[in-house]
């Protein structure tokens, strides 16, 4: 069914037992976020907070908390969306399945934004920022944030909705140096369309007009995070996924989504920034305070009985994980069609998405050579790192399989994927560092904002080693509380073993012996037992806390023609450094309050 509003969606979920109504008054200062986190952890329903302290408006979260619920919400439009995406990727698909294509054509009409809406619900009343549910999510957050915004901007060279950008960039509503009701903070990162729009406006000496939509049909939130094929607008996609055209109008020169629950309009002037943050982010750490664009508030609108939509991010998995799963279910092979030779790619959610990318590609360049080694996968790796959001990857592990493999490799089975590569990696040849480059804004493993390094591990060929399935005696004798993370990867306590000493001791053992031991990676950490207790801990701490060019060493390391390699195992220094952002931690007093509230609802 086509939901005309967020409330229509929530009522449908309620009728089908997929909504939790919190009836008592809840404080937006940490309590609402804590309730959300608890319910999400238990794979619970969407949540409607009926009484928000300090605001007349209700709030909803965990709407997309499970893939199953997201698929239910879009049950009537997902087949048509998939079909249209397939046609966009491969126009011959329309000829192969003409009947299916014809059934998708009516849905395509919904892609056309409607600039003449019959009604304009969001213009029901004008309010202030202070009237909104000012939700603070984590104890060290700098203030209240919008966490499910749809941030709309237009191209100064080609104005109009046809060349607009809709993205999900967090908005700080209060705190820091912001003047309440007059100023808010606009945080956006590298490789985002809004940056292009602001640059063009700056070049013309004009302020960038910004509209922030909150709520509305759930499809609009998904559209704001959707990586779309070239030439497809987020506004087009929002209409197709919603099953109804995107309704909009212009007020005071600002584009307004008339079906949204709330709209904040304002301007960003060239060179005007203010400190934004800290904010507990989706890598599981706080993104710290930095200068970001200042948005001067023009007007704030709300529909009658509006509902404030929000989410909570932190160490993955969180609700944004389900966003990723939904997107993958829709786009299918879109990326592999965009990059020739790429068969499969997986941004590992447990590692915070951008820190770790796994890929399977083709290796077809030199079939005449008896010795198998990486060739085509190196080309594909460069293509991956030059493609959209994939370019933010810090670690890229890439390999290929023969045409008739004995088993099918799967990037989503991280343990088996790592095992496959580590059985084949040539430490002298297969490590490719990118130094002094850009990394994800939220990744603090580098020494400066947006700045760090990348590592491509490209391994292909016959198996050259058997990985250790228990701690070898030579490693146990180091007296560093060694713990096996997975075959070939061992965690050591950094308090008992630093990098320099470890290299000296292992160099003394000799590379040949180390190779026989089957050890591929040694990870230094504050708590080896914790890191090895489950794969999720390794994926998170092992990749979010490592800056490849600074924090990776190896046994018998060398530099030859500016290529770094080593002869023995790699050493990952996954300890927390002084320049790292602190991890997000729950507040004990708030957790106790939440116990009391949720116990009434069976959580």
The pairing of strands 248-251 and 254-257 is antiparallel
Closest by CA position to 392, among listed 450, 467, 464, 470: 450
What domains sit in the chain, N to C, each tagged with a CATH number? 6-319 (2.30.110.10), 333-596 (3.40.1670.10)
Q: Is the pLDDT of residue 191 over 70?
A: no
**DSSP helix/strand/coil, 487:** coil
Question: What is the pLDDT of the chain when averaged over all its residues?
Answer: 90
Q: pLDDT tens digit string along 377-416?
A: 999 999 999 987 888 899 999 999 876 667 789 999 999 9
Where helices occur in 307-385 by DSSP H, the ranges are 319-331, 334-338, 376-384
- The predicted pLDDT at position 109 comes to 84
Other Cβ atoms within 10 Å of 561 Cβ, number = 4
Report whether 178 contacts 236 (CB < 8 A): no
Q: Where are the alpha helices (DSSP H) in 135-231?
A: 193-203, 218-225
Spell out the residues 6+ positions from residue 218 whose beta carbon is closer than 8 angstroms to its own.
Answer: 3, 6, 9, 63, 64, 73, 74, 242
Q: Which H or E element spans position 86?
A: helix 78-89
The DSSP secondary-structure symbol of 306 reads -
| pLDDT (average), residues 333-342 | 76
Residues forming beta bridges with residue 297, ordered by sequence position: 266
The reported pLDDT for the residue numbered 105 is 57
542: tokens are: 């092992």
Give tens-digit pLDDT for 206-251: 999 999 999 999 999 999 998 775 556 788 989 999 999 999 999 9
pTM: 0.91
pLDDT of residue 433: 97
- Specify the length of the chain in residues: 603
Residue 370 has pLDDT above 70, yes or no: no
Residue range 261-319, pLDDT digits in tens = 999 999 999 989 999 999 999 999 999 999 999 999 999 999 999 999 999 999 999 99
Eight-class DSSP state of 33: H
% of the chain beyond a pLDDT of 90? 71
| Token pair recorded at residue 445 | 């493993």
Where residue 95 falls among pLDDT bands split at 50, 70, 90?
Answer: very low
Mean pLDDT throughout 483-498? 94
């Amino acid at each position: 069914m086509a939901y005309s509003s967020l409330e229509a969606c929530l009522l449908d979920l309620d009728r089908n037992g997929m909504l939790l109504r919190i009836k008592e008054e809840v404080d937006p200062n940490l309590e609402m976020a804590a309730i959300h986190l608890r319910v999400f952890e238990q794979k619970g329903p969407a949540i409607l907070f009926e009484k928000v302290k300090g605001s007349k408006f209700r709030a909803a979260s965990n709407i997309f908390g499970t893939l199953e619920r997201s698929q239910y919400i879009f049950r009537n439009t997902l087949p048509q969306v998939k079909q249209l995406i397939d046609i966009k990727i491969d126009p011959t698909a329309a000829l192969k399945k003409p009947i299916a294509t014809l059934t998708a054509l009516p849905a395509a009409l919904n892609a056309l934004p409607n600039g003449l809406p019959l009604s304009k619900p969001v213009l029901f009343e004008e309010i202030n920022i202070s009237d909104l549910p000012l939700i603070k999510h984590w104890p060290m957050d700098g203030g209240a944030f919008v966490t499910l915004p749809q941030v709309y901007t237009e191209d100064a060279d080609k104005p109009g909705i046809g060349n607009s950008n809709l993205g999900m960039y967090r908005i700080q509503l209060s705190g820091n140096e912001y003047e309440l009701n007059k100023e808010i903070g606009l945080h956006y990162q590298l490789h985002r369309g809004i940056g292009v729009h602001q640059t063009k406006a700056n070049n013309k000496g004009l302020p960038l007009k910004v509209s922030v939509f909150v709520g509305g049909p759930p499809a609009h939130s998904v559209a704001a995070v959707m990586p779309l094929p070239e030439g497809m607008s987020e506004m087009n996609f929002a209409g197709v996924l919603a099953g109804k055209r995107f309704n909009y109008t212009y007020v005071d020169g600002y584009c307004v989504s008339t079906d949204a629950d709330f709209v904040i309009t304002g301007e960003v002037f060239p060179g005007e920034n203010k400190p934004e943050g800290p904010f507990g982010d989706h890598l599981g750490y706080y993104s710290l305070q930095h200068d970001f664009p200042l948005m001067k508030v023009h007007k704030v609108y709300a529909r009658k009985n509006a509902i404030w939509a929000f989410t909570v991010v932190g160490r993955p998995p969180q609700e944004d994980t389900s966003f990723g799963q939904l997107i993958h279910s829709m786009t299918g092979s879109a990326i592999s069609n965009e990059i020739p030779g790429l068969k499969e790619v997986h941004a590992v959610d447990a590692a915070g998405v951008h820190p770790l990318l796994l890929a399977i590609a083709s290796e077809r360049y030199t079939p005449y050579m008896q010795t198998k080694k990486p060739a085509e996968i190196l080309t594909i790796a460069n293509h991956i790192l030059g493609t959209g959001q994939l370019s933010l990857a810090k670690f890229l592990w890439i390999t290929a399989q023969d045409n008739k493999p004995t088993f099918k490799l799967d990037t989503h089975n991280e343990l088996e994927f790592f095992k496959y590569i580590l059985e084949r990696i040539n430490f002298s040849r297969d490590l490719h560092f990118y130094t002094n480059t850009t990394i994800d804004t939220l990744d603090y493993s580098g020494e400066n904002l947006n700045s760090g390094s990348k590592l491509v591990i490209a391994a292909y060929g016959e198996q050259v080693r058997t990985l250790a399935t228990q701690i070898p005696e030579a490693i146990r004798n180091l007296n560093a509380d060694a713990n096996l993370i997975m075959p070939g990867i061992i965690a050591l306590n950094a308090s008992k073993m630093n990098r320099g000493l470890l290299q000296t001791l292992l160099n003394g053992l000799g590379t040949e012996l180390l190779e026989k031991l089957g050890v591929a990676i040694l990870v230094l950490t504050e708590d080896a037992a914790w890191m090895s207790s489950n794969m999720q801990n390794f994926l998170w701490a092992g990749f979010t806390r490592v800056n490849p060019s600074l924090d990776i060493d190896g046994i018998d390391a060398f530099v030859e023609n500016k290529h770094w390699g080593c002869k023995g195992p790699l050493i990952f220094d996954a300890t927390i450094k002084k320049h790292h952002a602190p991890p997000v931690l729950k507040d004990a007093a708030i957790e106790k309050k939440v116990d009391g509230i949720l116990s009434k609802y069976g959580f």
